[in-house]
Structure 1
Amino acid sequence: MRFEDWDFAVLINACEVMIWVGLAVVVALRPLFPPVQPAQLLKEARLRRWMAIALVLFGLSDAVEIGSGAWWRPWWLLAWKATCVIAISVIGSVLYLRSRERDEKDLSA
């Protein structure tokens, strides 16, 4: 498929690939910048790596969607996307709850 043959939907999906991969880079690199404490790095590094992997895989599913023409076709693409959404939601929730616990401890100290 040549770039000239791309329609608007394909262009949007190509942008989504870049957005999800870019977000994965931000999530993965976030612990390297202040005000992150060393204890936080150990607790959250593994979760952040899994989140980055899930984001990259979700971005790659958009690349596959460009070729298939739909997010629900073939069936395994829908399953792939659903798995990524569930993983991103669960990991994101755990990271959010941990950050709230940490903030509450900081306020009480």
Structure 2
Amino acid sequence: MGNFELYSAGGLNFVEAAVWILIGFYLFFRSKASATGQGKDYLLLSALFLAFGLSDVVEVYSGAWWKPWWLLAWKALNAIGLLYLAGKLYLAERGKP
């Protein structure tokens, strides 16, 4: 592994990125099997999780989640989208408007 330490901040960010990306793939396949008619929302949510995972990979190389400024904007927009769609899907799954 050379100088790379799994338990360093960068190593844990790679693990975190892998988790977000795996969730994104799970939601992608769930979008194809959605019986609630929410397939497009699951597809968009999967894209947001994949993008969030990729932003963690960029974070490893930039050294911080707030720099450069566009990484902070990327993460903030992803978080807003994730919260909105997750809430929308949660309510739809529960049969509420």
1:28 pairs with 2:28:
yes
Give identity over the alignment, percent: 33
Q: What letter matches 1:93 in structure 2?
A: G
Please report the TM-score for the alignment, with normalisation by the length of structure 1: 0.79
What is the CA deviation profile of residues 17-41 of structure 1, one whole-angstrom value per residue up to 9, with x for unaligned ones? 11011001111212556xx63xx2x
1:67 pairs with 2:29:
no
In 2: Cα distance, 1:31 partner to 1:76 partner: 29
Deviating beyond 4 angstroms after TM superposition, the runs of 4 or more aligned structure 1 residues are none
1:91 pairs with 2:89:
no
In 1: Cα distance, 2:87 partner to 2:29 partner: 19
Other structure's SS at 2:15 match: helix
Q: How well do the aligned residues superpose, as a CA RMSD in angstroms?
A: 1.6
Q: What letter matches 2:72 in structure 1?
A: L
- Contact kept in structure 1, 2:31 and 2:40, CA below 8 Å: no
Give ranges in structure 1 of 5+ residues lacking alignment: 103-109
In 1: Cα distance, 2:18 partner to 2:77 partner: 20
Please report the TM-score for the alignment, with normalisation by the length of structure 2: 0.88
Give ranges in structure 2 of 5+ residues lacking alignment: none
What is the CA deviation profile of residues 1-21 of structure 1, one whole-angstrom value per residue up to 9, with x for unaligned ones? xx4223410100111111011
Other structure's SS at 1:77 match: helix
Q: What letter matches 2:82 in structure 1?
A: I
